[in-house]
Amino acid sequence: MKIVFLGSSDFSIPTFKKLIEAGHEIVCVYSQPPRRSGRGKRVNETPVHELALKYGIPIRTPESFKSDEEQSKFFNVNADLSVVVAYGLILPPEILEAPKYGSLNVHASILPKWRGAAPVHRAIMSGESETGVCIMKMDIGLDTGPVVAKEIISIEPHDTTSSLTERLAALGAVLLVESIKKIDHLLPKPQSSNEISYAKKIDKQEAKIDWALDFQKIGRQIRALSRFPGAWSYYNGERIKFLNVRIVSSASVDSVKPGTVIKAPLVIACKGGALEIDSLQRPGKSIQTVDEFLRGFPIEIGSVFN
């Protein structure tokens, strides 16, 4: 099948590769334009862009599809199907409907829950026990199209957004390829009007830890924001990111100021309990295990994060 692939982030990569492995012809790839990022503000291509170059597949990076010229370029590809995975641009109906079979999207939630930009982050942060992947036939709404396939998985207590996203990306790739095999017989099912929720984009202001909050809520915050943007707190004026954590529900914290280190190697008091930090990161440094971190940056029992 002739497919045009629209994707940008690492979440897109497993589906991109799976389509090629399945023998489909990727006639063109669309991705977000290269942008300046990182400490050196170097111009970086998206992961999908880089992979398309390795495969020798034509790559296009428009800022939008509003112009007649850009739409004509898309129409002239004459694809049988569009596959959209974490692309990042709104697609007008003319583009969605141009291919013979329209456009399929891989979305990392159990729709209609967590429509929008950050479904994995929001599912963990909200304390959900499960999530999943939906293959959706796209329409002009925000993740409102009918679902053609879905699979549900558990959110494990140790899951971070990074680890859960990897699992969902792999699952979505398989589900998408299986859906294409049955494309002439798919029965799109309209989404329920109940339990609709929106996964708004993560605001960096959400990353500051308030140690006076419930310990379970802070634990979810740390796991949900790992690895980006990373939940953080100040220690002696330096911003420290927390990337992984375990709950210590039996800790006695009634008389301890929230944010206080109460036990080695790094157990921190919160409201109602405590958290044992597993990995951390200083500004401009790599992520380290707690033992590695403390060898170069000692933090004593009784110290306070704020």
Domains of the chain: 2-199 (3.40.50.170), 204-296 (3.10.25.10)
Q: 217: buried, middle or exposed (CB in 10 Å: 19+, 13-18, 0-12)?
A: middle
The CA-based angle 95-166-204, given to 5 degrees, is 80
Q: How far is CA 282 from CA 45, 234, 246, 288, 294, in A?
A: 26, 10, 20, 9, 11
pTM of the model: 0.93
Residue 90 CB neighbours (<10 A): 11
What pLDDT does 251 receive? 66
Q: pLDDT tens digits, the chain, 306 residues: what are they? A: 999 999 999 999 999 999 999 999 999 999 999 987 766 678 899 999 999 999 999 999 999 999 999 999 999 999 999 999 999 999 999 999 999 999 999 999 999 999 999 999 999 999 999 999 999 999 999 999 999 999 999 999 999 999 999 999 999 999 999 999 999 999 999 999 999 999 999 998 999 999 999 999 999 999 999 999 999 999 999 999 999 999 886 667 878 999 999 999 999 999 999 999 999 999 999 999 999 999 999 999 999 999
Which residue matches tokens 């597993």? 278
Give the other-Cβ count within 10 Å of 115's Cβ.
20
Query: What is the per-residue pLDDT for 179?
Result: 98
Quote the pLDDT of residue 39.
67
The reported pLDDT for the residue numbered 40 is 65
Which two tokens mark 10?
Answer: 């690492």
